[in-house]
């Protein structure tokens, strides 16, 4: 028999669910405990943010909201590895990455609160806004990467995509062009096992989602997406390769959606409580906290003190959000083009007249 090609997919993990190191070669960044504490604190803030956002939705103060519960290690791992000049193309729940990049919680709330100004956020001006049409952001990352390559800029475009989103033509197109052209692009598949009610195995017959990247000629692996160190290490490696012109990567982060799909969803209709309960055993905060505690770098007291600070910061953010007045109707018109065409000027005038007539 002649083998035309063969492949394997590595699974990367540094910390197990009990917070114990599963390998001796901890990456350099993980030896800096102050840094690791910072990352843990960001994860905890993200969880406080998420809990608060759901509460706002439940009390009618926010529209539909997409929770990131359980994804904290993935998003903080990505955000902490990226450079500001890199480009991030998110789907719709990567707030953790975005907070590190300077997006404010109040801006996330504005977006889900029905106000476009949330997408005019404080993060890097070259970062894309949230992307609701599944998978479309993948190609924007590929296009950004192509621009960097053509202009010889040492920058990388990173996108996130869900397990469901890897079925989309846009995802296949993005990894394909990145492989064909050796683009500086990193694709992170956030495999949380569910696409609304559709389980991971219903999306593809492939054994892993990472191997789709191999088919496109990208370096591809799986990581324990609940292990911050593993996500960060894989990102560091992928970003470095891409930045040095060695091409793109696919990182499949194995995690779990501990929440409903969004606040408009009721996951009890389609998944077992037992599965969710088991997933809580693997959740990302607990293991990092345990690891930090075992290293003597964290304890209950610090945990509680930080939670209080997170709560205070969130109160400020929520107040800022709730205090943001609705945009004037003009705003619906004024960003449609660089300059408002005469046609639309007339409609704008009529709209404002109709509005004042109704007062």
Residues acting as catalytic residues: 257, 261, 270
Count CB neighbours of 322 within 10 A. Answer: 13
Angle at 299 between CA 294 and CA 300, to 5 degrees: 135
Least distance between ligand TPP and beta carbon 191 (Å) = 8
Q: What span, in angstroms and rounded, lies between the C-alpha atoms of 33 and 52?
A: 28
Helices and strands, number each (H, E), in the chain? 13, 8
Find the shortest distance in angstroms from Cβ 127 to another protein: 16
* Chain contacts with another protein (rule: CB under 8 A): 63-64, 92, 111-116, 130, 132-135, 164-165, 167-169, 195-198, 202-204, 264-265, 269-270, 326-327, 329, 331-333, 336, 343-344, 347-348, 351, 354-355, 357-358
Please say which residue, 198 or 319, places its beta carbon nearer to another protein: 198
Only one of the segments 21-29, 41-49, 158-166, 332-340 lies at the binding site for ligand TPP (rule: CB under 6 A); that segment is: 158-166
Query: Going along the chain, which residue ranges are E strands?
Result: 11-12, 87-89, 157-162, 185-191, 194-195, 198-199, 219-224, 249-254
- Kindly write out the interface string for residues 217-256 of this chain, putting x where it contacts ligand TPP by CB under 6 A and - elsewhere: ----------------------------------------
Residue from 57, 80, 98, 192 touching Mg ion (CB under 5 A): that is 192
C-alpha dist (Å) from residue 27 to 21, 230, 236: 11, 9, 10
Tokens (6 digits) for 12:
């990367």
Please tell me the distance from the alpha carbon of residue 359 to that of residue 357, in angstroms, as a whole number: 6
Query: In the complex, what is the shortest distance from the CB of residue 185 to ligand TPP, in angstroms, rounded to a whole number?
Result: 18
CA-atom Rg of the chain in angstroms: 21
Q: Which one, 163 or 170, has the nearer CB to Mg ion?
A: 163
Q: Does 257 bind ligand TPP (CB under 6 A)?
A: yes
In the complex, the residues that contact Mg ion under the rule CB under 5 A are 162-163, 192, 195
């Amino acid at each position: 028999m002649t083998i035309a090609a063969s492949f394997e997919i590595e699974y990367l993990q540094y910390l197990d669910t009990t917070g114990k190191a599963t390998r001796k070669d901890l990456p350099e960044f993980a030896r800096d405990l102050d840094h690791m504490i910072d990352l843990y604190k960001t994860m905890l803030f993200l969880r406080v943010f998420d809990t608060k956002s759901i509460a706002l939705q439940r009390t009618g103060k926010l529209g539909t909201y997409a929770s990131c519960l359980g994804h904290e290690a993935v998003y903080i791992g990505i955000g902490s590895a990226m450079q500001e000049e890199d480009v991030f193309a998110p789907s719709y729940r990567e707030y953790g990455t975005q907070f590190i990049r300077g997006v404010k919680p109040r801006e996330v709330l504005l977006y889900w609160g029905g106000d476009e100004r949330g997408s005019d956020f404080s993060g890097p001006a070259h970062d894309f806004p949230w992307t609701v049409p599944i998978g479309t952001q993948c190609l924007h990352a590929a296009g950004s990467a192509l621009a960097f390559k053509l202009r010889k800029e040492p920058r990388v475009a990173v996108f996130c995509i869900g397990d469901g989103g890897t079925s989309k033509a846009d995802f296949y197109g993005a990894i394909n062009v990145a492989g064909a052209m050796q683009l500086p692009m990193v694709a992170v598949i956030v495999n949380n096992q569910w696409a609304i009610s559709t389980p991971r195995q219903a999306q593809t017959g492939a054994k892993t989602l990472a191997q789709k990247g191999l088919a496109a000629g990208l370096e591809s692996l799986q990581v324990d997406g609940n292990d911050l160190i593993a996500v960060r290490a894989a990102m560091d490696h992928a970003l470095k390769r891409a930045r040095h012109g060695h091409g793109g990567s696919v990182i499949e982060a194995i995690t779990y959606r501990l929440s409903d799909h969004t606040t408009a969803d009721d996951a009890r209709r389609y998944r077992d409580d037992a599965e969710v309960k088991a997933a809580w055993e693997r959740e990302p905060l607990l293991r990092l906290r345990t690891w930090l505690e075992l290293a003597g770098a964290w304890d209950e007291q610090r945990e509680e003190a930080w939670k209080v600070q997170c709560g205070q910061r969130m109160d400020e953010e929520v107040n800022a959000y709730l205090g943001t007045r609705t945009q004037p109707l003009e705003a619906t018109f004024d960003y449609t083009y660089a300059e408002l065409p005469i046609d639309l000027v007339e409609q704008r005038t009529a709209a404002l007249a109709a509005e004042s007539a109704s007062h």
